[in-house]
């Protein structure tokens, strides 16, 4: 009896190995995805930081009313004001300019006479696309704060007041985060999506091939004529799909880890790679989810007429899994029972593992139980489809 399961499994694995194109797709794409996601986030952060540190040239109106000390202070922060004669409000509103500064009449006089001086800053964060141009609002606020402090110190000195009264409490900040935790901040967003996508996409090709592919080639009918039972055929195919899925999951996370290990410290802020133990735990937690996804893939594929139709039918499942995994990254479960939700629970566990945080009590157990329970439900559904009468009738 066991030999039938083994024969079906070995048949599917051998066919997969013989298909060089499919083998390359199964092994290389997950590895490339892991490396891409590991490199993409630090590079994106470095790009955004570099753009925010570029010299700012801000159009300004009413410069003749500005205090020279104000202009000099902004220049120390590489912020330079350029005269602008057009409609400032319209230019910023249309995103032609990312920001604009307007000095009211009497600005310098009010500052000198210790009156109220108002500065108008117009901004449009959408200017410059996703990165918001090279506008750094925090740098503008810092320059303005420095200017205000200089004025305050000058006024206190005139009144012979000790400037120490401005800062009665000194702040001594200590960063207690570990390198693993800093690395986890980056990984916490991408790893949940990676494992969820890997669980679905990693075995999609073979899941389609052993179901819709065999129907299309006409080999499924021959397989059904063998002494193997319907359950043995289904389980043998499922184990083959699961075997192939486990490899891309491991490759994806290994690629992610390897890429973060070789990235220069200037890109990662010295965080370095995640601990190997975290990656191993993430793989083990993902495997039950992968089994659930494998059964779903086989159910969807067997109900289609051919390979291309099955590939199209996979798109909603992949989209749904990605959306749920993304939700888990931004909305962690409020209590342990939420970890029972398939995909969501597993993705949330991986996110917590990446951040090196404390995993809620029974969260891992609930995550595994949720995936196993969901798998049992879809297996029952699959067995109703994987019988000779239904399969032969639908050929």
Q: What is the pLDDT of residue 130?
A: 47
Q: Which of 184-193, 252-261, 341-350 holds the top average pLDDT?
A: 341-350
Is the torsion defined by CA of 18, 379, 33, 128 positive or negative?
A: positive
Q: What is the pLDDT of residue 373?
A: 93
DSSP class of 337: G
Least confident of 45-59, 98-112, 363-377: 45-59
Q: Which residue has the higher pLDDT, 50 or 262?
A: 262
Q: pLDDT tier at 386 (50, 70, 90 boundaries)? A: confident
For the CA atoms of 177, 181, 185, 191, what is the dihedral angle to 10 degrees?
180
Q: pLDDT tier at 25 (50, 70, 90 boundaries)? A: low
Across the chain, mean pLDDT equals: 78
Identify whether the C-beta of residue 134 lies closer than 8 Å to the C-beta of residue 122. Answer: no
Q: pLDDT tier at 35 (50, 70, 90 boundaries)? A: low
Identify whether the C-beta of residue 245 lies closer than 8 Å to the C-beta of residue 199. Answer: yes
d(Cα 212, Cα 302) in Å, to the nearest integer? 5
Q: What is the pLDDT of residue 169?
A: 64
Q: List the beta bridge partners of residue 170.
A: none
Q: pLDDT tier at 376 (50, 70, 90 boundaries)? A: very high
For residue 365, count other CB atoms closer than 10 A to its CB. 12
Q: What is the pLDDT of residue 292?
A: 92
Identify whether the C-beta of residue 211 lies closer than 8 Å to the C-beta of residue 310. Answer: yes
Q: Which 3 state secondary structure label does DSSP give 324?
A: helix
- Per-residue pLDDT tens digits for 1-14: 667 777 777 777 77
- Asked whether the predicted pLDDT for residue 369 surpasses 90, the reply is yes
Label the pairing between strands 119-123 and 99-103: antiparallel
Secondary structure (DSSP) of 25-89:
HHHHHHHHHHHHHHHHHHHHHHHHHHHHTSPEEEEEE-GGGS-HHHHHHHHHTTEEEEE--S-HH
> Which CATH class name applies to 54-165?
alpha beta
Please state the domain extents for the chain.
Answer: 2-42+178-394, 54-165
- Per-residue pLDDT tens digits for 75-128: 888 888 899 888 888 888 877 888 888 888 888 888 888 888 888 888 887 665
d(Cα 244, Cα 228) in Å, to the nearest integer? 22
d(Cα 32, Cα 39) in Å, to the nearest integer? 11
Identify whether the C-beta of residue 187 lies closer than 8 Å to the C-beta of residue 256. Answer: yes
- Per-residue pLDDT tens digits for 158-206: 777 776 666 666 656 655 556 666 666 666 777 788 788 888 887 788 8
Q: What is the pLDDT of residue 208?
A: 85
Mean pLDDT of the 381-392 span: 72
């Amino acid at each position: 009896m066991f030999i039938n399961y083994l024969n079906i499994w070995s048949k599917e694995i051998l066919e997969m190995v013989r298909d060089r194109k499919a083998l390359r797709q199964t092994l290389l794409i997950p590895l490339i995805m892991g490396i891409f996601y590991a490199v993409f986030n630090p590079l994106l952060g470095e790009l955004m930081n570099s753009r925010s540190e570029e010299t700012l040239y801000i159009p300004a109106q009413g410069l003749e009313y500005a205090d020279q000390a104000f202009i000099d202070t902004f220049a120390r922060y590489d912020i330079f004001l350029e005269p602008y004669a057009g409609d400032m409000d319209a230019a910023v509103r249309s995103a032609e300019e990312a920001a604009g500064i307007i000095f009211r009449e009497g600005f310098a006089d009010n500052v000198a006479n210790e009156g109220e001086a108002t500065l108008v800053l117009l901004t449009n964060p959408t200017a410059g696309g996703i990165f918001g141009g090279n506008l750094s609002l925090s740098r503008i606020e810092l320059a303005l704060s420095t200017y205000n402090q200089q004025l305050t110190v000058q006024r206190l000195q005139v009144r012979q007041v000790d400037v120490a009264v401005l800062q009665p409490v000194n702040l001594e900040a200590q960063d207690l985060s570990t390198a693993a935790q800093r690395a986890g901040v980056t990984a916490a967003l991408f790893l949940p999506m990676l494992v969820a996508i890997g669980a679905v996409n990693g075995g999609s090709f073979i899941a389609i091939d052993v179901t819709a592919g065999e129907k299309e080639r006409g080999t499924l009918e021959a397989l059904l004529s063998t002494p193997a039972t319907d359950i043995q055929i289904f389980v043998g195919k499922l184990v083959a799909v699961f075997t192939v899925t486990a490899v891309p999951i491991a490759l994806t996370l290994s690629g992610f880890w390897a890429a973060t290990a070789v990235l220069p410290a200037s890109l990662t802020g010295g965080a370095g790679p995640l601990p190997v133990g975290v990656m191993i735990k993430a793989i083990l937690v993902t495997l039950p989810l992968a089994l659930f996804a494998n059964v779903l893939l086989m159910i969807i594929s067997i109900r289609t007429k051919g390979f291309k139709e099955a590939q199209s039918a996979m798109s909603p499942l992949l989209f749904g899994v990605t959306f749920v995994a993304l939700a888990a990254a931004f909305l962690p479960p409020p209590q342990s029972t939420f970890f029972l939700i398939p995909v969501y629970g597993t993705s949330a566990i991986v996110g917590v593992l990446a951040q090196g945080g404390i995993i809620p009590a029974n969260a891992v157990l609930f995550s595994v139980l949720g995936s196993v329970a969901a798998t049992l439900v879809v297996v029952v559904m699959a067995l109703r489809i994987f019988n000779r009468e239904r399969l032969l009738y639908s050929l």
